[in-house]
């Protein structure tokens, strides 16, 4: 089974590389830019964003910046991340990198009501949920997992992108229902 999942990871990696020739995975610890962003996030979130370097994957262009422990992620976890980040690369390609970045960061507000960030992340997290369901079945959809996804939208993790917990929970429940029904 591990051999099969390892082959699937390599396949996803190669598919992304084929679609985006400049795609690469880079350790955040090796990036001055990521260290600079980390410092800025700590400032603008008043110290609440403490795990940017250690718990978050960041995609800029077609470069996926990963925490130092990336190699310790399960193969399923790495596949899920790559499929999620490929959605963002496709979004940037569709809208153009500058427009995508502007919409993601600024529209209509950088925090609190970041409609486009919410929209883009919902699309990418739906891919994450589909991936987890493919490998884990119904076990992918636990209350802990739901809390994790909801917190991504309503906490400092994404600069409080959307304050309406009920709407995020409804989105999550709808995606789970759609996935479980085979759509």
Q: Are 76 and 136 in contact (CB under 8 A)?
A: yes
Average pLDDT, stretch 6-12?
Answer: 96
Q: What is the pLDDT of residues 66-88, one digit of tens each?
A: 999 999 999 999 999 999 999 99
pLDDT: which is higher, 39 or 44: 39
Q: How many residues does the chain have?
A: 183
Distance linking the first and last C-alpha atoms of the chain: 26
Compute CA distances 38 → 41, 161, 168, 176, whole Å: 5, 18, 26, 32
Q: In which band, very low, low, confident or very high, does the pLDDT at 1 lie, cut at 50, 70 and 90?
A: low
Range picked from 104-108, 111-115, 142-146 for highest mean pLDDT: 142-146
Strand arrangement, sheet containing 58-60: 24-27, 63-66, 58-60
pLDDT of residue 146 exceeding 90, the answer is: yes
pLDDT of residue 3: 86
pLDDT of residue 166: 97
Phi, psi (degrees; rounded to nearest 5) at 73: -60, 145
Q: What is the pLDDT of residues 109-135, one digit of tens each?
A: 887 899 999 999 999 999 999 999 999
DSSP string covering 62-123: TEEEE-TTGGGS-HHHHHHHHHHHHHHHHHHHHH-HHHHHHHHHHSS-SSS--HHHHHHHHH
Among residues 80, 58, 44, 48, the alpha carbon closest in space to that of 151 is found at 48
pLDDT of residue 159: 83
Among residues 141, 151, 152, the alpha carbon closest in space to that of 174 is found at 141
**C-beta neighbour count of 149 within 10 angstroms:** 20
pLDDT of residue 177 exceeding 70, the answer is: yes
Q: In which band, very low, low, confident or very high, does the pLDDT at 108 lie, cut at 50, 70 and 90?
A: confident
Mean pLDDT (the chain, rounded):
95
Q: Are 46 and 22 in contact (CB under 8 A)?
A: no
Compute CA distances 99 → 40, 94, 102, whole Å: 22, 10, 5
- Name the β-bridge partners of 25: 64
pLDDT of residue 143: 96
């Amino acid at each position: 089974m591990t051999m099969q999942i390892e082959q699937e990871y390599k396949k996803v990696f190669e598919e992304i590389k084929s679609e985006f020739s400049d795609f690469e995975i880079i350790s955040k610890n090796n990036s001055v830019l990521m260290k600079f962003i980390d410092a800025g996030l700590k400032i603008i979130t008043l110290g609440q964003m403490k795990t940017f370097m250690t718990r978050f994957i960041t995609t800029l262009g077609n470069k996926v910046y990963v925490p130092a422990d990336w190699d310790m992620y399960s193969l399923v976890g790495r596949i899920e991340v790559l499929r999620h980040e490929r959605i963002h690369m496709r979004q940037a390609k569709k809208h153009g990198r500058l427009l995508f970045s502007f919409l993601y960061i600024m529209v209509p507000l950088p925090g609190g009501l970041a409609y486009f960030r919410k929209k883009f992340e919902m699309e990418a997290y739906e891919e994450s949920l589909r991936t987890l369901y493919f490998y884990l079945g119904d076990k992918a959809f636990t209350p802990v997992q739901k809390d994790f996804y909801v917190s991504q939208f309503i906490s400092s993790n994404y600069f409080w992108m959307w304050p309406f917990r009920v709407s995020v929970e409804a989105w999550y429940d709808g995606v789970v229902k759609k996935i479980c029904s085979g759509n």
